[in-house]
Amino acid sequence: MDTPDSLPESARRVADLLGAIGHAHPVILLPATGRTSAEAAAALGCDVAEIAKSVVMRRLADDTAVMVVASGANRVDEQKVAALVGAVGKADARFVKAHTGYSIGGVCPIGHCQTVRVLVDADLLRFDRIWVAAGHPHAVFKLSPRELLTMTGAPAVDVALRTEPAA
């Protein structure tokens, strides 16, 4: 198990935050990058759907960061997100870092340096446990979907892009 002192600085910040709120599971470092959901799932030995990826967008009306924490098996439907928060656009790496305090590939759903509007993919609620980025492309931590909702204060919403035909 990784000790907080052995973690990269951004992951150590997340570990400290988790410790302060009494979260039971530590931040762990993956041997290889967890930058994609498939890479993280392979390293953790779980289903890609149990990886909760953080997708950051920019709300066009006011440049607020909007983060969707989505199942790794899903693509995010920007139209569904826009229906909930207003029109959104792409967020580049500089925007993501400036608003969340984390680099793309390791964006944690908590501990942001600015106010971030967070939405949680309702599809994550079907799992007992999920894995989220912990501030660094190699760092993750385990939690339940309910813990994610509590930590972020976010609603669970339908944000998945569904391509199957209507019944």
- Kindly state whether residue 163 falls inside one of the protein's structural domains: no
Q: What is the mean pLDDT of residues 60-69?
A: 98
In the chain, the amino acid numbered 55 is: V
Q: How does DSSP classify residue 165?
A: P
- Kindly state whether residue 116 falls inside one of the protein's structural domains: yes
- Kindly state whether residue 159 falls inside one of the protein's structural domains: no
Q: What is the mean pLDDT of residues 37-66?
A: 95
- Kindly state whether residue 167 falls inside one of the protein's structural domains: no
User: What is d(CA 49, CA 104) in angstroms, rounded to the nearest whole number?
Assistant: 19
pLDDT at 33: 72
> Which residues form the domain of 69?
4-152
Q: Say how many C-beta atoms besides its own lie within 10 A of residue 30's C-beta.
A: 18
Pick the closest to residue 155 from 85, 105, 102, 104 (CA basis).
Answer: 85
Q: Residue 160 above 90 pLDDT?
A: yes
Q: What pLDDT, in 10s, does the model give residues 100-127?
A: 999 998 999 999 999 999 999 999 999 9
6 contact partners, CB below 8 Å, separation of at least 6: 29
Number of structural domains, the chain? 1
- Kindly state whether residue 165 falls inside one of the protein's structural domains: no
User: Do the beta carbons of residue 54 and residue 135 sit within 8 Å?
Assistant: no
CA-based end-to-end distance of the chain: 48
The CATH number for 144's domain is 3.90.960.10
